[in-house]
A and B are shown apart, each in its own frame.
Chain A
Amino acid sequence: MSLLEIKNLHAKIGEKIILRGINLTVNAGEVHAIMGPNGSGKSTLCQVLGGRDGFEVTEGSVEFDGMNLLEMETEDRANAGLLLGFQHPVEIPGVKNIYLLKESLNAQRKARGLGELDTFAFMKQVRELVKSMQMDDAFLHRGVNAGFSGGEKKRNEILQMLLLQPKLALLDETDSGLDIDALKIVSEGINRLRGTDRGIVLVTHYQRLLSYVEPDFVHILYKGQIIKSGDKSLALQLEAEGYEDILKAAS
């Protein structure tokens, strides 16, 4: 059984059709990269998989770990092991990071029939993660993403991912807005999640993230469809030649 199986997915927002028949299979242990020019539907795909209101799925199906993903509430998707890493993580002043981390971990543990994690064990785990992401402990007591730099927000996304240990991480342009040091830290974080029982989908514009997190598969999304798939060499080809030639060849 695949971890994620997207079949002929069509979606629109209002009258605007954005996804026009996406097919994608992700198995446990695999890292996929989805690339594509602006407006190709990358972010919409992430939002639809995350369960964002406002998008209407008109055709197709998505199976996640044997479940009909599209029928699930956003929080149930998370509790089933899907993590959406945001391109623009929203600021929530007043809600402390540490509180968000604890609430989300406990919500997910509860959904899996586990008890709440003991506070000391939790704090120990969180402190180690903060250190590994080269962040300061003080960050735990700041409002969620409030006043964070772009790089801090993305590191925060990866930190949450590492704490929650999702079966499938769907990371929407996690590399955008990162300087080279932050890119390395974030990439190391993603690589730590890699494992035979997990899948990772990287949505990105650029090849540079993929030199740190090597994908098993690369897909090119264009006008709401995956028009070409290949291995990591496809990303390199894209980097060298640009989208234009590949789009021409594919059409």
Chain B
Amino acid sequence: MSVVSMRKLSVIGHKNDRRSILRTIASLGSVEIAQTGDMSNTYINKHLGEQEEISQKLARLNFAISFLQESSKELKKSEFSSDVKENQAFRISKFGKENVVMSYEELSNISSDEYEILAVIDKLSNINDELTDIKSKKSRITNTITQMRPYESLDIKFCDIKDTKNCSFFVGVLEKEDLTALSTLQSYCVVKTEIVESGFLVCIISHKDDSSTVLHLLQSNGFKRCPFTDATLAKVKVASLSDELSALEKRRHELYLNVSELFPRLKDFKLLYDYYKIEHEKISIMGDGRETKRAFILDAWIPSHSEDLVFSAIMNVAPSTNCFFRDPLNDERVPSLVMNSKLVRAFGDNITATFGTAEYGHIDPNPFVMFFYCLFFGFMFSDAGYGLIMTLACSLFLLIKKPVKNSGGFFVMFGLCGVSTVVWGTLFGGWFGLTTEQLEAFGLGRALLTLKILDPMDGTDILIMFGLALGLGIVQLATGFTLNGINSIRQKKITSGILDNFSWVAIFLGGGFFALSILLNSSAIKTTGIVIILIGVAMLLAGGAIGKKNPFAMLGGMFKNLYGAINVFADILSYSRIFSLCLTAGIIGMVINIIAGMMPTLLGFAGYIAAFVIYAVGHLFNFGINALGVYVHNSRLQYVEFFGKFFSGEGHAFSPLGRKTKYIYLSDSLTQPKTK
């Protein structure tokens, strides 16, 4: 239940063996490389050339993956639907992490196909260049066609639109259909006018003496003179440009279909990317490590139970290497590794990890988080029907998708929370928001009601449930104080650890006895409770005074500890949200049922359809909004109230060499730990 104990490994070996040792370490997945401090007579060789080469390969692979991703969006458009439907290869593409787990050796095999894979990437790169070229050409042609369209009705070639000896010829498009300004002039003639898409086409001949006046008048009406001089008719040119555009579009279509044929290579790109990511990590480690002319030094952290495994693996590949193992020093920042079962890990990954990592030497909070998160989730969600659906949906997902290596933790977590919801919902009689009367109307409902022990809509039961919510909160807080006490004792802060933390456990325990005495009407239990509370208060006061020599400082410390009680009581009250959310889910469900139930009476036969829609949409909404509310409020109870007592989350998570992959999961050889 603790963070796994660690050992520091120092390796001194021949430089010729360094790559094979790093390769072995990467394949084990249980060694985190540590920074090696300065050492006399050693130097650092950054291996910049090799780093640059690997970075370039990673950039090319990255390009290929994102290019396929962009292409897949393009291929989903309707224009490709008939062609792509027959291309099964495209359907299996997936751009996130693959549901694949393999060993480092298996991953390394991909490097033998490297040249072929990089050649495919070159092909993709050429296709991308051609697509970019097509895009710019299409844009240019479309622009030209748009400009040329107004002149399609002209029956003279563009090159023939020119002035004569005495006349000026104006052909262009006016923004406004307004030639009244020209009427003041004597020597002009309008040859042609026509309304076109972008305005008003005009062809005007004027005497050369008036040409500047005509041009000025036309320009004041937004005149754009024809810019073309081609030796063709506009309609012929537009037709030829349109043909060119179709040819480009056809080529683009072909290119994307060629890309779709390369989709099966996506997995190879991903494997090679992850392989080179690890290679890059190894080269960076070599670049940061100290070395002499012939030897190198490497420091690392390993879980203590992996010591023999790591040692024998290194000896196998480099027998002349020296390995030194030692325990961590007090001032060293040691990485934390927690090893939990699959179920506990689901909560660790999705709840604890988003807050932080346990510090080395402290207790692993994950099993407690799993217990309390499940417990509170069921109480808050409180509808057994919803819980059943949640568990079934999560189980189905896990059965069908079969996520590898803990990647389906989110569904495992909500599956378990669903089970807790079924239990609490049964105890509260919550089944899809049905009221007691509705449940009594059928056999199964009556059977389920026999299991109901508390009713959230009953005056007395409300207070019991409210008390139960606060009581469960007190149990969680007591657990938090206990864990903090244990952590403090481990750090040799024995007196303050016991007095500051177990004082509260004693007060809660005494309070529990006191409450029990009221239920059982026993004065003996009552006295015991009061005595335990007083012992707790005395411990709390002593905790404030201890370690201080000045009487005023002692008093100040005692007051501070007593004042801290306000925070503890505020924390306890915060657990009232468990009951509040339980009410919300139940009552909204009930309202949906009542409204849906009224529909057949109001609307007759159509009412049954309306009722079905209201049931389905209403419960879906209630399920969604309450699942979200319960998820976030339950997380808050863990982060603020529970973790606030014992868990800072400031640890540094163990990050072994070769496990920071982006697209696949690597198997590792971590065995079951001995805990510290």
**Do A and B interact with each other, yes or no?**
no
Binding site for B on A (CB under 8 A): none
Binding site for A on B (CB under 8 A): none
